[in-house]
Amino acid sequence: MRAWALAVAGLVVSLVACAGERPPQRPAPETERAIASGRIVGKVAENGAHVWLGIPYAASPAGSRRWRAPRPASPWSGVRQTIRPAQRCAQLTNEFDSDEGLEPGLVIGTEDCLTLDVYAPPGRGAEPLPVMVWIHGGGNVWGRSSAYDGSRLASNEDVLVVAVQYRLGPLGWMSHELLRSSATQAHDAAASFALLDLIAALGWIRENIAAFGGDPRNVTIFGESAGGHNVVALLASPRARGLFHRAIVQSGSFDGFSIAEAEGDEGTQANASKTIVEKLGVESAEALRALPLETLFAAYEYERGFLDAPRMIEDDVVLPAGGLRAAFTSTRTFANVPIALGTNRDEMKLFYLRDPEMTRRQLGLLLVARDPDFYDALTEALSRLWRIRAVDEPAATMHAAGHERVYAYRFDWDDAGRFLSMDLGRLLGAAHGFELPFVFNRFVHLGNADRLLFLERTAADRERLSRAMGSYWASFARDGEPSWADGPAWPVYGGDASFLRLDTANDGGIEVVARAESLEDLARDLRDDPRLDAAGRCRVVDEMGEWSFGRPVQERLRNAVGCGAEGR
């Protein structure tokens, strides 16, 4: 995969946290609560929501606990203030950290990072509230919970929102015999430690969320990009069974790595663990766990601060060894709960926007496509492939397996503006991550570019679409049936492959569409696309191999469009 693009969804690092609402950093007595570890006090947001930040849900996974399953959080005495964000989990900075004056490639954060944030609507009613557990994106190598402020979603929809942090990069995903042989508990023999963190967070929620007004018997997990991928993994993990009751996958993935691939015995995966351990020159698990973070991260190759390393490892401890996709062929091997999943129509435009091979700058500021037709054809084909692999194929698989509660969507909003020769509506369209401002009801996304992205004239339409999406998401969390009082019923994904298209009224509004994408359709359209000559078609297929969702099917498409290996 293009390493620099792994965490590009984290372009939204300022997405919700930097939304302009900065309440005073002081505790509010009415937010004091008692949880298993001790008493805490939070704060009140400007919209009245109650907020608790940086609550530990597990002990520090540093030192002798590195690459082990998370242990319970230690108790404290007195009242702990939870009014400021916790430190992010250890990670490398990248170009999207420049807003904070950080250069790419720096090791920042801490291993002592297993915390969560809670957002509750003002007031405590008699009935417990649905709980929505947010899992952030960032390629599973980057990101933080504090980038997402759930106060508006909580207040607008009368739900509890919990945002979780989990181990990232080499600390969250590592497969090696040295670690397995040093396991002191069955969980410790895992390779997907990030998923164990999320499972521990769900266990904490089951035991503690009632103190905040939440219903531990009604928990929905939802996440975007890598967060969506993690939702898929939790659906497939036997260890997560019973800890949640609904799931929403936003631009996720259903692919994983075998132990052999993760360790470098098969395939050509960058930064395979055996290679890393050889570079580090250590011969014991104790020595590995004693390494300074800087030394560990320095062993990895990266581009623009983005690590490309095996993640979502099918370790037969957290994830089934037979493959992540295979788990969804039977309702006995994945969580049989209501599932909503979808993608954005133009996912890949965000990744190629800053690719110097695809775009260039005019006057040192304005981004324009070098070849607009090829840019559109490439990003359209790859976005469709993402949808096929992440929505239509798994939804059809689950439906065939007898799962009757699958809902699919596509997000189509593309009303960004233009300035001189730079047309963000065309360059970005409904790009990766663009549904997030609508789900969280906070229109901040690309920093200074937001003035061009979110125009004043689109504000009313955006707000209506945002509130509609909040209603669909929250009603799904409430009873497993997504609905909005002023819009169409969202049908289950069945034989007619119906999905809900989400857009503003000026582009057709919210409507039900009955149409599935397939690899055969994509191959046919690539062959017939007037924007592509023979070389262009083969270039598009070659690009597919750079992305994890494209590698498994690249050869099939290459042959189908007439780009055999000898013709490349």
CA neighbours closer than 13 Å in the CB half-sphere of residue 502: 30
CA distance 211 to 101: 38
* Region 352-381 average pLDDT: 92
Q: Could you write out the three-class secondary structure of 405-473?
A: CEEEEEECCCCCCEECCEEHHHHCCCCCCCCHHHHHCCCCCCHHHHHHHCCHHHHHHHHHHHHHHHHHH
Predicted confidence (pLDDT) at residue 154 exceeds the cutoff of 90: yes
Cβ–Cβ under 8 Å, residues 227 and 355 = no
Predicted confidence (pLDDT) at residue 19 exceeds the cutoff of 60: no
Local confidence band at 15 (pLDDT 50, 70, 90 cut-offs): very low
Cβ–Cβ under 8 Å, residues 409 and 500 = yes
> Which DSSP string do the residues of 113-153 spell out, in sequence order?
--EEEEEE-SS--SSPEEEEEEE--STTTS--GGG---HHH
Predicted confidence (pLDDT) at residue 68 exceeds the cutoff of 60: yes
CA distance 358 to 370: 6
Tokens 């395979």, residue located: 272
* Region 444-452 average pLDDT: 82
Cβ–Cβ under 8 Å, residues 335 and 243 = no
CA torsion sign for 269, 273, 276, 281 is negative
Cβ–Cβ under 8 Å, residues 498 and 532 = no
Local confidence band at 567 (pLDDT 50, 70, 90 cut-offs): very low
DSSP 8-state code for residue 389? I
User: To the nearest 5 percent, what fractions of the chain are helix, strand and coil?
Assistant: 40, 20, 45
Check residue 529 and give its pLDDT: 97
CA distance 162 to 477: 13
Higher local confidence (pLDDT), 32 or 99: 32
CA distance 514 to 495: 9
H/E stretch holding 35 reads strand 33-35
Local confidence band at 14 (pLDDT 50, 70, 90 cut-offs): very low
> Which DSSP string do the residues of 81-102 spell out, in sequence order?
E--SPPPPBSEE--GGGGGGT-
Q: Write down the mean pLDDT value for the chain.
A: 92
Among residues of the chain, what percentage have pLDDT more than 70?
95
CA distance 515 to 528: 20
**With 0-12 CB in 10 A as exposed, 13-18 as middle and 19+ as buried, what is 74?**
exposed
Structure tokens, 125: 């009613």
What are 216-274's pLDDT values in tens digits?
999 999 999 999 999 999 999 999 999 999 999 999 999 999 999 999 999 989 999 99
Domain regions of the chain by residue span: 1-337, 344-364+371-517, 531-567
What residues does 289 pair with on adjacent strands? none
Q: May I ask the CATH architecture of the domain 1-337?
A: 3-Layer(aba) Sandwich (3.40)
What are 386-428's pLDDT values in tens digits?
999 999 999 999 999 999 999 999 999 999 998 888 899 999 9
CA distance 360 to 355: 8
Say which residues have a Cβ less than 8 Å from residue 460's Cβ, sequence separation at least 6: none
Higher local confidence (pLDDT), 307 or 166: 166
Say which residues have a Cβ less than 8 Å from residue 432's Cβ, sequence separation at least 6: 8, 9, 225, 251, 344, 347, 348, 349, 350, 351
Local confidence band at 13 (pLDDT 50, 70, 90 cut-offs): very low
